[in-house]
């Protein structure tokens, strides 16, 4: 059984992976922003954002509730949207 320090070491490992993945997601969002700009598509696409949230809810197996996961993802999407806007 792990003690608090053991769990914290595990959290630190997870955080490194999370930071890496969030940045990978940002790279993809920037690439899409660039493609939208060159093809004159709108940056804000509510249908796509809706699909992202539906996907997140569908794959969420807990322990976070749907509401808690969506709470985190709302912030992720806010930041990604501001990133696409800034680069346009």
Instruction: Kindly list the residues in this chain that would bind a copy of itself in the complex (CB under 8 A).
Output: 2-4, 7-8, 10-12, 14-32, 35-36, 41, 48, 52, 55-56, 59-64, 68-69, 71-72, 74-76, 78-79, 82-83
Shortest distance (Å) from residue 60 CB to a copy of itself: 5
Report residue 33 as tokens.
């922003």
Give the C-alpha separation, 78 to 88, whole Å.
16
Output 46 or 62, the one with its CB closest to a copy of itself.
62
Listed in sequence order, the residues at least 6 apart from 73 whose beta carbon sits closer than 8 Å to its beta carbon are 52, 53, 56
- Residue recorded with tokens 């598509």: 41
Q: In angstroms, give the least distance from the CB of 51 to a copy of itself.
A: 9
């Amino acid at each position: 059984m792990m003690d608090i320090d053991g769990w914290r070491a595990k959290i630190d490992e997870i955080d490194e992976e999370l930071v890496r993945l969030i940045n990978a997601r940002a790279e993809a969002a920037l690439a899409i922003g660039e493609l939208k700009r060159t093809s004159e598509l709108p940056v804000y696409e509510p249908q796509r954002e809706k699909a992202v949230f539906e996907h997140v809810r569908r794959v969420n197996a807990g322990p976070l509730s749907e509401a808690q996961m969506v709470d985190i993802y709302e912030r992720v999407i806010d930041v990604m949207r501001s990133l696409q806007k800034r680069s346009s």
